[in-house]
Amino acid sequence: MTPSLRILGLDPGLRRTGWGVVAVDGARLTHVAHGVIAPEAALAFSERLLVLFEAIAEVIALHAPHEAAVEEIFMNNNAASALKLGHARACCLLAPARAGLTVAEYAATVVKKAVVGTGAADKAQVGFMIRRLLPTAGDTTADAADALAVAIAHAHARRARSYLGAA
């Protein structure tokens, strides 16, 4: 019996970064863990980024994922906010890469479509589907639900690529 593959999903944010780990065994998805990293707002920007990076590294060490997936940022009208979010996203890309994990990136619409069936789904719909797809996850915050959705989207994309490769 082959061990299941663990996927870490990350939903980047400077104030709140959601993370979720799922195990994939064939078509079966199982909840492993989830949470939110929320650096203190009073910290200097560089310190907040360091907290984020180190917390992601700790999640990786604790849950031993094999791969990671990160949600891409949406375009924001406020350039300064988009740039800061880009820094947080860099932490979400670098921590898994530093741990030797393959890191995939998915647009929010792709993630929502994989979990809800439409790329225009709202956060409540994503949370509802996470409760249905991963019942042992219980109630999750929106950030953690989004991160679990990213991990699920990656699992679906992996399966689709494996089918295409077998053809």
CA distances, 37 to each of 12, 68, 78, 83 (Å): 10, 16, 23, 19
Of 47, 67, 71, 105, the catalytic one is 71
Of 11, 25, 47, 58, the catalytic one is 11
**How many CA atoms lie within 13 Å of 142's alpha carbon, on the beta-carbon side?**
7
Of 58, 122, 143, 146, the catalytic one is 143
Annotated active-site residue 146? The verdict is no
Q: Which of 69, 139, 80, 163 is nearest to 111 (CA)?
A: 69
- Token duo for residue 23: 């195990």
Annotated active-site residue 25? The verdict is no
Q: Which of 35, 53, 39 is nearest to 91 (CA)?
A: 53
Annotated active-site residue 143? The verdict is yes
The residues annotated with a catalytic role in the active site are: 11, 71, 143
